[in-house]
């Protein structure tokens, strides 16, 4: 495991515990698996059409009227484990985003749209992208939820080291403080 990954994981878990002690906390952490899909013509440039990623780690903070700030890191350690890829294309993504949940943050299902950016490191160099997408979280209880997200990562061709692509992820999220949720129909005592 790289030094960068070890340091990130230490700060991630220590930081989440510190924020978890805050009385006003609205923090959520998550872990996902993802897949990057390039078009067939762009896959010739990159070396693969699909790049599987595991893990994608993220932390989110609800801050104002349906808006949430999100930060994530994702990389394809699955390459190192499985030897699945013929070209072994590395892909590291550092993401920042703002999500808007349409005022549904206390619901059991929270759909959202997302706008943000990424710094991507592949075989060549770091490349910025502009991201737009949508997703949703289905809260199983006041702490745990299942999340799904689809992004389009747009890379300007002037950079020459990355191509625009689609990124799909699915994972679990954990709320560091019990969420105030609207009770489900099956949870009531009727």
The string of pLDDT tens digits covering residues 22-64 is: 334 589 999 999 999 999 888 777 778 888 888 999 999 998 8
Residue 83 maps to a domain: yes
Task: Look up the pTM and report it.
Answer: 0.78
Quote the domain boundaries for residue 132.
Answer: 32-179
- Count of structural domains within the chain: 1
pLDDT tens digits along 163-174: 899 999 999 999
The CA distance from 181 to 186, in Å, is 14
In a domain, 164, yes or no: yes
- Quote the Cα angle for 61-67-69, to 5°: 35
Q: Is 92 within a domain?
A: yes
**Within a domain: residue 84?**
yes
Note whether residue 72 is domain-resident.
yes
Residue 190 inside a domain? The answer is no
CATH, residue 118: 2.40.160.20
Average pLDDT over residues 145-159: 91
């Amino acid at each position: 495991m790289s030094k960068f990954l070890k340091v990130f994981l230490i700060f991630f878990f220590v930081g989440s515990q510190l924020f978890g002690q805050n009385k006003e906390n609205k923090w959520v952490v998550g872990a996902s698996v993802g897949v990057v899909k390039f078009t067939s013509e762009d896959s010739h440039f990159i070396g693969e059409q699909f790049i599987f990623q595991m893990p994608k780690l993220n932390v989110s903070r609800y801050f104002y009227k349906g808006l949430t700030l999100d930060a994530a890191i994702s990389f394809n350690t699955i390459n190192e484990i499985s030897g699945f890829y013929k070209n072994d294309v590395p892909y590291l993504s550092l993401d920042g985003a703002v999500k808007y949940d349409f005022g549904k943050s206390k619901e059991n299902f929270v759909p959202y749209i997302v706008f943000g950016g990424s710094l991507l490191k592949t075989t060549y160099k770091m490349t910025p992208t502009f991201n737009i997408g949508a997703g949703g979280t289905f809260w199983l209880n006041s702490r745990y939820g299942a999340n799904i997200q689809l992004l389009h990562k747009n890379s300007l061709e002037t950079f020459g080291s990355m191509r625009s692509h689609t990124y799909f992820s699915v994972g679990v999220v954990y709320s560091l403080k019990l969420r105030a949720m609207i009770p489900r129909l099956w949870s009531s005592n009727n």
